[in-house]
Amino acid sequence: MKVLFITPAYFPNLRGGNERSIKIIAEGLANKDISVAVLSFDAKNNTQEEHYKGVKVIRVKKLKISPNTLAHNLSLLKCRNLIEKEHPDIIHVFNTWHIPAATFFKDIAPLVVTLNNYFPIIATAYTKDNIIESKKSNLFKVVHSIKGTIKGDIVKRYLLGLFYGIYSIFVRFYSKRADKYIVYASPIGKIYYKWGFDKRKFVTISSPVEKNKIQKTIKRDKKSVLYVGGAYEAKGFYELLEATKYVKTKDVQFYFVGINTVPEKVKEFVKNNNINAYFIRKLDALKLVEYYKKSSVLIHPSIWPEPFSRVWIEALQYNIPIISADNPVALEILKGAAIFYHRGEPKELATRIDSFFKSKIKLDQTKAKRKIFESNPVKRLIEVYNNLLKNNS
């Protein structure tokens, strides 16, 4: 069997959790004597071929047009000859951005996709009002929702809202043509069902993890709070920042890791409210580990229904207690392993932080760890591939 993965970037060009996940999966398949190739759109110039631990990597330069997702799809359409030359048995899109274009290669091989964000539903993947989670919607509601999320003057917001609303219709139409959808947790599938995706095509397979990194109990700082992620509204960065001024526990230190540029309004907020906040640029995995080890608690305030955060995996690996927003996937995956608060309620988040430091809340992460770490995603994925090939023979 030969599997061709399609992704925006691949090792050593690590941009986030997606690249780390696909590396674990690709190398895991290669270790099972499966031929693995990766088509990655991160070449700086000409197409180049590399090899890493049994994985063939073909890097292609992406077109420079906007929006970025459209550039990825048009770039992929130009790769038909390259894909035919690889002659894969399975094509697996490991980031949703390429799904629409990839459906045009179903005559070459069955198409499997991993749904690690919501681009196939709404082309912006996030809106302030979380319309993604709504039961019913239409073009008018989608346009209005996107308009309310985009920054700029009213004309720009309406025009971009209309563009992305129409763009989303085409993206959804083609994305529904995939042969199999992989989700990390069942609540993700339920969100897609609401938007007309065929539930018979969905399979739940846990996110890949590096099991050798699971740590024993670690001595931690007494009053330090950790946030890992960018300065993005969807990630809940500003909600946590707002909560800091309501925290009553004295001398708490807040570490925000992943902030390459601190916005001026954030600097002003921290100064005016006398917050002990430290902003650290995006770190590589080895340096990030030190913050997981020393921090008292991790805050994961994601406002959007995050499909499956690698931050959760890393937090459980390093036994750090978690306070999480009540997004649907977190409620299932982190049940018993996290303290939850209602999204959009920074005062409630502050109360949870205070309760944690008063030792009023105890957590048992055993069940969550078992659900994540005892699974074998590579084995399950091979089963999916084999069943798909059998049904298409």
Domains, the chain, with CATH or none: 2-114+176-206+375-392 (3.40.50.2000), 121-172 (no CATH), 211-373 (3.40.50.2000)
Q: Give pLDDT tens digits for 334-372.
A: 888 899 999 999 999 999 999 999 886 677 777 677 766
Maximum distance among all Cα pairs of the chain, rounded to whole angstroms: 66
**pLDDT reported for residue 272:** 96
- What residues contact 22, with CB distance under 8 A and at least 6 apart? 5, 7, 10, 38, 94
Strand partners, 58: 39, 49
Residue 264: count other Cβ atoms within 10 Å of its Cβ: 8
**pLDDT reported for residue 214:** 54
The strands making up 35-40's β-sheet, listed across from edge to edge, are 48-52, 55-59, 35-40, 2-7, 90-93, 111-114, 180-183, 202-204
How far apart, in whole angstroms, are the C-alpha atoms of residue 57 and residue 377?
21
How far apart, in whole angstroms, are the C-alpha atoms of residue 352 and residue 249?
11
- Reported residue count of the chain is 393
Residue 225: count other Cβ atoms within 10 Å of its Cβ: 26
What averages of pLDDT result for each successive group of 10 residues across the chain (393 residues)?
96 79 93 97 93 96 95 97 97 96 97 95 90 85 91 91 96 98 92 95 84 59 90 93 96 94 94 95 87 92 84 85 91 87 95 89 71 78 95 79
**pLDDT reported for residue 392:** 80
Q: Give pLDDT tens digits for 17-68.
A: 778 889 999 999 999 999 999 999 999 989 999 999 999 999 999 999 999 9
